[in-house]
Structure 1
Amino acid sequence: MIKTLYGYGLRPDHCYAAGLVSIGLSYTSWAVSRVKKGDSKSQSDRWGIFIGHWAPSFFALGNALRLEELNR
């Protein structure tokens, strides 16, 4: 799968950037949901955590792609 993604042009830097963006998006979604009327504190926390779980996946994928890049 990693070789295929690398072959399609996905590079480690793309995944690292997506990980950083997801951290910012996690904070932003938490903050927006927090101030929005009608959303509870627990709902705000759930949104932030849901999006925050994407970051480690992007970083791991970036590391796998970096290894693929080094092995070529």
Structure 2
Amino acid sequence: MIVKMLHDAGLRSEHAYLGAAASIGLSLASWLASNRQENLERADRWGIFVGEWAPTFFGLGLALANYERTDGEQLIDSQ
């Protein structure tokens, strides 16, 4: 399971949520930078491309939070 592998590697739900928030800011920054150097259509594509990372990170954060909650419950049940 990918979520278990990521959790075992040290990735926590808070990290994924921070990545989502950062990608929203990065989306705005990339749009502004691209808008100054290129045309509006190209700037919009860059902003949307980077902005689509946020839902992925939020989903990953939810999956990790769910795994962390159920993993903690299993530890309590086994004691």
TM-score w.r.t. the length of structure 1 is 0.95
SS at match of 1:10: coil
Point out the structure with max Rg over C-alpha.
Answer: 2
Distance 1:31 1:71 in 2: 41
Percent pairwise identity: 46
Question: What 5-or-longer segments of structure 2 have no aligned partner?
Answer: 72-79
1:1-72 superposed matches below 5 A:
1-36=2-37, 39-72=38-71
Count of residues paired in the alignment: 70
Distance 1:4 1:53 in 2: 24
Cα RMSD (Å) = 0.5
TM-score w.r.t. the length of structure 2 is 0.87
Distance 2:68 2:29 in 1: 33
Note the C-alpha offset of 1:58. 0.2
Structure 1's consecutive aligned runs of 4 or more residues displaced over 6 angstroms after TM superposition are none
Note the C-alpha offset of 1:13. 0.3
Which of the two has greater helix per residue?
A: 2
